[in-house]
Amino acid sequence: MSDLFLKASMLLAHLPTAVSRRIEEARAEIEERGDRGDNPVVTTILWVAGIGIGITIVAALIALGNRAASNVDNVDLGGN
């Protein structure tokens, strides 16, 4: 068995313990500081609304650009 394979297997063996320890530390920190009042539902709604507004603005700009391009296509500049 190669040394790299052995090290990788040892890291994978310790991963559940490390994750469990980090979750316990996070819970203890939450208990110490208390609830911050962040509501994930409101945050999600704000992100979706912001992305929706951004997409709407981009779509409007594309439509405006296409309309302007079609108007310019019909202009005869007089040079052959």
Digit-coded pLDDT (tens) for 49-70: 999 999 999 999 998 888 877 7
Two tokens at 61? 């700009």
Do 1 and 33 lie in a common domain?
yes
Instruction: Considering only CA atoms, give the Rg of the chain.
Output: 29
Do 28 and 44 lie in a common domain?
no
Q: d(Cα 40, Cα 38) in Å, to the nearest integer?
A: 6
Q: Answer whether 0.85 is exceeded by the pTM.
A: no
Mapping DSSP to helix (H, G, I), strand (E, B) and coil, where does residue 48 land? helix
Do 13 and 27 lie in a common domain?
yes
For residue 74, give the DSSP letter: T
Q: What percent of the chain has pLDDT over 70?
A: 81
**Average of per-residue pLDDT across 16-32:** 89
Do 11 and 32 lie in a common domain?
yes
